């Protein structure tokens, strides 16, 4: 689905476009970014990435945004909607490492939650985060996500099993804040 433009304090979210494919490829192949993601950068190439973006734009269940700050493209965020259960799974990466730890992930997430609960009127948003991703965990916790459990060894990456922490936020708790 074509994602609407969303504006936060420091961030603007715009629908992803094929001209950004080179950046995504570069970030997916950066081991310091890739270690937090399920995607395997080695299996990607520019043609596949452009096709992924085209498919995402046509999808009836996915919103994919590019994250920009001061006209700089720094990452991406997306939602996969589950209409049957009135919920979504959310994901993010800021690929430009110089932009980590500046509150931009938090700013992005606040916009996404506002979109999910106020505009889409969802009941729940959920996510999975690798057990060693303390920065991600802290960012999500700050925005209201709660720890819901651990899927032991749910991810196999570079020959190692990783525990995945499941987090969620309910509409009723979001609206109370």
Closest to ligand COA by CB, 83 or 134 = 134
Taking contact as CB under 6 A, which single stretch among the options 14-22, 55-63, 97-105, 157-165 is the one that binds ligand COA? 97-105
Q: Give the count of beta carbons closer than 10 Å to the beta carbon of residue 76.
A: 23
The yes or no reply on residue 88 touching ligand COA (CB under 6 A) is no
Select the residue interacting with ligand COA from 88, 129, 162, 169 (CB under 6 A): 129
C-alpha count within 13 angstroms, C-beta hemisphere, residue 128: 14
The yes or no reply on residue 7 touching ligand COA (CB under 6 A) is no
C-beta of 108: minimal distance to ligand COA in Å?
Answer: 7
Pairing of strands 87-94, 124-130: parallel
Select the residue interacting with ligand COA from 61, 82, 134, 153 (CB under 6 A): 134
Residue least distant from ligand COA (Cβ): 105
Closest to ligand COA by CB, 54 or 62 = 62
The yes or no reply on residue 158 touching ligand COA (CB under 6 A) is no
The yes or no reply on residue 116 touching ligand COA (CB under 6 A) is no
- x-or-dash string of contact with ligand COA, 18-37, rule CB under 6 A: ---------------x--xx
- Beta carbons of 109 and 141 less than 8 angstroms apart: no
How far, CA to CA in Å, does 116 sit from each of 30, 90, 100? 30, 10, 24
What is the Cα–Cα distance from 13 to 36, expressed in whole angstroms? 21
31 burial type by CB count under 10 A (0-12 exposed, 13-18 middle, 19+ buried): exposed
The angle, 0 to 180 degrees and rounded to 10, between the axes of the packed helices 46-58 and 21-28 is 120
Provide the token pair at 117. 């609960």
Select the residue interacting with ligand COA from 26, 58, 118, 135 (CB under 6 A): 135
Residues making contact with ligand COA (CB under 6 A): 33, 36-37, 75, 92-94, 100-106, 129, 133-136, 138-139, 142
């Amino acid at each position: 689905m074509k994602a609407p433009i969303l504006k936060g304090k420091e961030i603007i979210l715009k629908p992803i476009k094929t001209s950004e494919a080179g950046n995504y490829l570069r970030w997916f192949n950066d081991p310091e970014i890739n270690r937090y993601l399920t995607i395997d950068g080695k299996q990607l190439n520019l043609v596949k990435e452009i096709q992924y973006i085209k498919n995402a734009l046509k999808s009836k269940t996915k919103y994919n945004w590019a994250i920009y700050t001061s006209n700089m493209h720094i990452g991406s965020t997306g939602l996969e909607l589950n209409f049957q259960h009135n919920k979504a799974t959310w994901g993010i990466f800021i690929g430009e490492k110089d932009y980590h730890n500046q509150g931009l992930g938090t700013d992005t997430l606040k916009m996404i939650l506002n979109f999910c609960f106020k505009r889409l009127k969802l009941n729940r948003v959920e996510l999975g985060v690798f057990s060693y991703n303390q920065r991600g965990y802290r960012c999500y916790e700050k925005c209201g996500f709660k720890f819901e459990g651990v899927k032991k060894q749910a991810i196999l990456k570079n020959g190692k099993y990783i525990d995945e922490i499941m987090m969620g936020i309910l509409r009723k708790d979001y609206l109370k804040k």
